[in-house]
Amino acid sequence: MSVSNRYLTWPPNEQGFVGYDFSPVIPPGVALANATLTIVTNTNPPLPQTDFTQQPVTIISRQCWCSIAGGAEGTDYQLRFTASDTAGHVWNRTATMLCAEHS
């Protein structure tokens, strides 16, 4: 599930992929060199969470993807992607995710 719309829903205890396409912000001819995903609760202040497990982030050119599993019903999370490109720039992007059954 691409998070380029910056808000998504996730069924509780589901396994799947989340990703971010950095193509609109990375200059032409530049690719991602590395990326991380941090999941925190969407509270003030954001808090660490233990509801999700995740695999290492996979990079494909200008996109990054990560397999995650878990989630607690009725909880909002922030997906915080941090990526570095081959030109040395750092790109931070955050998406909000609600954990709820799909209708």
Q: Is residue 2 part of a domain?
A: no
In the predicted model, is pLDDT for residue 6 greater than 60? no
Q: Specify the amino acid at residue 21.
A: D
Q: Is residue 36 part of a domain?
A: yes
Number of domains, the chain: 1
Domain extent, residue 72, equals 7-99
Residue 90 token pair: 């750092």
Q: Which residues contact 47 (CB under 8 A, 6 or more apart)?
A: 40, 41
Give residue-wise pLDDT tens across range 21-62.
Answer: 999 999 999 999 999 999 999 999 999 999 999 999 999 999
What CATH code is carried by the domain that includes residue 66? Answer: 2.60.40.1220
Q: Is residue 1 part of a domain?
A: no
Contact 52, 35 (CB under 8 A): no
